[in-house]
Amino acid sequence: MSENRFYITTPIYYPSDKLHIGHAYTTTVADALARWHKFTGKDVYFLTGSDEHGQKIQRIAKEKNVTPKEYVDDIVATFTNLWQRLNIEYDDFVRTTDRRHYLAVQEVFRRIYEKGDIYKSTYQGWYCTPCESFWVETKLEDGNCPDCDRKVELVEEESYFFKLSKYADRLLKHIEDHPEFIQPESRRKEMINFIKSGLDDLCVSRTTFDWGIPVPIDDKHVIYVWFDALTNYLTGVGFPNNQEMLDKWWPADIHLVGKEIMRFHTIIWPIILFALDQPLPTTVFGHGWLLSDSDKMSKSKGNVVDPHALIDEFGVDPIRYFLLREISFGQDGNFNRRALIERTNADLANDLGNLLNRTLAMLNKYFDGVIPSPSGSESIDNQLIQLAGDTVTKLSAQINGLAVNEGLATVWQLVSRANKYIDECAPWVLAKEEATKGRLGTVMYNLFETQRIVTLLIKSFLPETGERIWQQLGISDSIATQTLKHTQWGGLQPGTITQKGDPIFPRIEIDTEQVSKIEPVKQTSEPKPKTNINENVIGIEDFSRVKLVVGKIIEAEKMQDADKLLKLQVDVGSGTRQIVAGIAKHYNPADLPGKNILIVANLKPAKLRGELSEGMLLAASTKDGKLELVSVSDKITPGSLVK
Ligand code: MSP
């Protein structure tokens, strides 16, 4: 294994439903780490994927009256679309239905069987289908799955078993000798206790359904979905046929996983690797959960947060920043809209955005927007320069220690220092006298050099913001070519012509609905209308003639020879309607499926460019003329009447 390469993975997600913000959390952290290590000059491989087999998926597909493959194909397309929208730069995506994965899993099974570590017997015990995990009676809690508290099913079937128990001592020794293997420390202790309480051999095949990879020596059986899924980490780096790739990337540096699936990754997976004579990954990091208003997100509670709606509303980087900065990595953290808005306003709009705006405005005024040469330095300058250097060192150590949120806090201390430096140096005073023009040049140079360094330090976390600030700084080398070594003080060339653009993060006003939740609005008398609404007033009976309903977009496609029109299929509760809408210049069709919108349902059908349109979407223009669909909370089901 070379020091100069870095292999990171996310869990592969179940396509049992669309992904929510909790799933986006793991993948955003993995993306930021992958980008950071690339930035430090390493050769990086970032793997993600989808876990498509198993009883749960087979059941859902059956309920929906489609084949499991048809079902997963549709959902997996929404995964890759989400990753694209979140700017996730993965190197490979393993679908467990890929042929290469099928071959890899069968090969793993065959090798372990031939070694004598897999044997046939009968399984009798409990199974949790949502978690796809086996439980012995004594581990159940109140008769339910101890992980998810849902009902378990009694299973009795002929199965192949994997000798986990044979390797328990070796695993304990590995964990004890390698404190970095299971992180954070609290989870390490938990896993040690679990192993010490005794490991039973693991059932690794099923016969009561067939949506899986067949056991190579006995095709009545399909391989247990976790045995199948864990192997993706090898499939993605060429196992079993591409030895060169495998030698380069295996073992992984980090498997990032949620806390509830640590057991699979730190007990079953290492033992599979022991049996295969493969080295173990360096670290399995178990992060906490993202809670929705302090509660675990779940569809049944109706508190699942849809990342698409958030991206539509706030843009990508505020979401990435919130996930990376707000939640202490390893702990559970709370997601709520107000906290997201406050974080964005405080750190991105005020601290970072204003620093750029203020300094660009001053540079334009005093130096026609051109970076001046610094001349001499005072102790206040040296402090800033020192802090910039220390920030690079501290951030590097924090990211290596997986303290992502602390790392961002470190960078923002430098941003705050730069804002304070403006107030302390008062460029507007220096600009008054010709004699202090040289000093003014030094101050402005230092402010822009600090921002150049900050931009490089944040680009792995906020790639879009990095690009946008870089453009305004006017530096000709592409930001993509910049690495950690470019964060040395002094890299900014005097004479660089900056380019003032739009504020990178306009302040978000908290909407009235939110405010009213926090500070109830008192009304003492009849509210007076602020605007003249007497013109064109209509009565309630006129309004009630318009039937407004909530619809969910199912499909969207461009129309031939009509560059403004999109053809949409919209679920309106009672069925699907086709609507032709003039939004092609404002939306990419791939981004529309899943959106809850408002439609006028009783509009007379019309034909547009030969296509039937049975309704009209509601939309409004933003200040810069972009058309935005009026969106509706996901909690409202299609067909609901707006009243
Ligand atoms: N398919 C398995 C993983 C196999 S890896 C070889 C699985 N899939 S999952 O879709 O249920 O969950 C995938 C990951 O998403 C897990 O790491 C889980 O912890 C994470 N999260 C699901 N909900 C989450 C939150 N609310 N918050 C943070 N992470 C969450 O398990």
pLDDT digits (tens, 9 = 90+) for 16-61: 999 999 999 999 999 999 999 999 999 999 999 999 999 999 999 9
Residues 141 and 277 in one domain: yes
Residue nearest to atom 19 of ligand 1 (CA): 258
Q: Is residue 471 part of a domain?
A: yes
- Ligand 1 and 131: CB distance under 6 A: no
Ligand 1 pocket mutation pick from 261, 322, 328, 404 by most atoms within 8 angstroms of CB: 261
Q: Are residue 266 and residue 384 in the same domain, yes or no? A: no
Among residues 287, 306, 336, the one where a domain terminates is 287
> Cα–Cα distance between 60 and 58 in angstroms, integer?
6
- Residues spanned by the domain of 551: 540-642
Index of the ligand 1 atom closest to the CA of residue 14 = 10
Q: Does residue 252 sit in the same domain as residue 384?
A: no
Protein residue whose Cα sits closest to atom 17 of ligand 1: 258
Axis-axis angle for helices 463-473, 354-367 (nearest 10): 10
Name the residue among 540, 539, 451 with its Cα closest to residue 496: 451
Q: Assess contact for 172 and 192: CB atoms under 8 A.
A: yes
Do 279 and 420 fall within a single domain? no
| CB-based contacts of 182, cutoff 8 Å, min separation 6 | 175, 188, 191, 262, 266, 283, 284, 286
Whether residue 352 sits in one domain with residue 264: no
- The answer to whether residue 508 sits within a structural domain is no
- In this prediction, residue 552 carries a pLDDT of 87
Asked if 106 and 202 sit in the same domain, the reply is yes
Ligand 1 touching residue 297 (CB < 6 A): yes
Ligand 1 midpoint to CA 260 (Å): 8
Quote the ligand 1 centre to 407 CA distance (angstroms). Answer: 24
Q: Are residues 224 and 369 in the same domain?
A: no
Residue 537: per-residue pLDDT: 56
If DSSP codes are grouped into helix, strand and coil, which group holds residue 280?
coil
Rg of the chain in Å (alpha carbons): 28
According to DSSP, the β-strands at 218-223 and 254-258 are unpaired
Residues 552 and 638 sit within 8 Å (Cβ to Cβ): yes
pLDDT digits (tens, 9 = 90+) for 494-541: 999 999 899 999 999 876 444 333 322 222 233 333 333 333 455 555
Atom of ligand 1 nearest to the CA of 19: 10
Q: Whose CA is nearest to atom 9 of ligand 1?
A: 13
For residue 51 and ligand 1, the question of a CB distance below 6 A is answered with yes
Token representation of residue 231: 């192997």
Choice from 17, 29, 50, 51 to test ligand 1 binding pocket (greatest atom count within 8 A of CB): 51
Cβ of residue 25 lying under 6 Å from some atom of ligand 1: yes
Which tokens sit at 62? 């059956």
User: Which among 12, 21, 26 is the best mutation to test ligand 1's pocket, defined by most ligand atoms within 8 Å of the CB?
Assistant: 26
Kindly report the number of other CB atoms within 10 A of residue 471's CB atom. Answer: 14
Residues 442 and 571 in one domain: no
Say how many CA atoms lie within 13 Å of 86 toward its Cβ. Answer: 33
Ligand 1 pocket check for 285: Cβ under 6 Å: no
Query: Same domain for 278 and 354?
Result: no
Tally of residues, the chain: 643
| CB of 284 shorter than 6 A to ligand 1 | no
Does residue 381 have its Cβ closer than 6 Å to ligand 1? no
Structure tokens at 264: 């699979």
Q: What DSSP state is assigned to residue 497?
A: B
Main-chain dihedrals φ then ψ at residue 169, nearest 5 degrees: -65, -40
Angle at 162 between CA 158 and CA 163, to 5 degrees: 125
Q: What DSSP line would sit under 176-205, residue for residue?
A: HH-TTSEESHHHHHHHHHHHHT--PPEE-E
Across the strands, what pairs with 497? Answer: 370
Based on the structure, what is the number of domains in the chain? 3
540 alpha carbon – ligand 1 mean position (Å): 48
Amino acid at 145: C
Residue 461 lies in a domain: yes
CA distance 473 to 359: 10
Which CATH number goes with the domain that contains 573? 2.40.50.140
Task: Specify the DSSP class assigned to residue 637.
Answer: P
Nearest CA to ligand 1 atom 12: 13
Q: Give which of 465, 255, 450 is closest to 348, Cα–Cα.
A: 465
pLDDT for residue 513: 46
Please identify, among 287, 322, 356, the residue that sits at the C-terminal boundary of a domain. Answer: 287
The vertex-36 CA angle with 31 and 41, nearest 5°, equals: 130
**Does residue 311 lie in a domain region?**
no
3-class DSSP state of 240? coil
Report the predicted TM-score, pTM, of the whole model to 2 decimal places.
0.80
Q: What residue has token string 């989870």? A: 187
Residue 229, in any domain of the structure: yes
515 φ, ψ (degrees, to nearest 5): -60, -40
Cβ pair 265, 101 in contact under 8 A = no
Q: One-letter amino acid identity for 628?
A: E
Would residue 313 count as lying in a domain? no
Q: Is 227 in the pocket of ligand 1 (CB under 6 A)?
A: no
479: which DSSP letter? G
Assess whether the C-beta atom of 108 lies below 6 angstroms from ligand 1.
no
Asked if residue 181 is part of any domain, the answer here is yes
Atom of ligand 1 nearest to the CA of 292: 26
The answer to whether residues 252 and 376 belong to one domain is no
How far is residue 12's CA from residue 27's CA, in Å, rounded to a whole number? 10
* Ligand 1 proximity of 12 Cβ (cutoff 6 Å): yes
| 125 and 244 inside one domain | yes
Q: Which pLDDT belongs to residue 540?
A: 57
Residue 341's Cβ-count burial label (10 Å; 0-12, 13-18, 19+) is buried
Encode 411-445: b = buried (16+ Cβ within 10 Å), e = exposed: bbebbebbbebbeebebeebbeeeeeeebbbbbbb
Amino acid in the structure at residue 207 = T
What CA–CA distance (Å, rounded) separates 411 from 253? 25
Distance CA 561, CA 471 (A): 36
Distance 13 CA to ligand 1 centre (A): 6
CA of 83 to the centre of ligand 1 (A): 15
Distance (angstroms) between ligand 1 centre and the Cα of 15 equals 11
Confidence (pLDDT) at 541: 53
Q: pLDDT > 90: what percent of the chain?
A: 73
- Strand-pairing partners, residue 157, are 123
CA distance 79 to 27: 11
Kindly give the parts of the chain with pLDDT less than 70: 1-2, 300, 511-545, 623-624
Residue 79: its pLDDT value, please?
A: 97
**Residue 126, token pair as written in the block:** 């409990």
Residue where a domain stops, chosen among 287, 319, 337: 287
Classify each residue of 75-106 as buried b or exposed e, where b means 16 or more C-beta atoms within 10 Å of its C-beta.
Answer: bbebbbbbbebbbbebeebbbbbbebbbbbbb
CATH of the domain at 383: 1.10.730.10
Q: Is the CB of 353 under 6 A from ligand 1?
A: no
Verify whether ligand 1 is closer than 6 Å to residue 11 (CB atom): yes
Q: Which residues pair with 557 in a beta bridge?
A: 567
Q: Is the CB of 261 under 6 A from ligand 1?
A: yes
The Cα 138–Cα 119 span in angstroms is: 24
Domain of residue 145, CATH code? 3.40.50.620
From residue 207, give the alpha-carbon distance in Å to each of 156, 254, 275, 572. Answer: 10, 34, 24, 40
Position 103 in a domain: yes
Evaluate whether 464 touches 420 at the Cβ level (below 8 Å): no
Tokens 């700017």 correspond to what residue? 87
Q: What is the pLDDT of residue 297?
A: 84
Please tell me what DSSP assigns to residue 551.
E
> Do 559 and 446 fall into the same domain?
no
Mean of per-residue pLDDT scores for the chain: 91
Instruction: Please list, in sequence order, all residues whose beta carbon lies within 8 angstroms of the beta carbon of residue 593, skipping any fewer than 6 positions away.
Output: 78, 553, 554, 555, 556
List pLDDT tens digits, range 89-104: 999 999 999 999 999 9
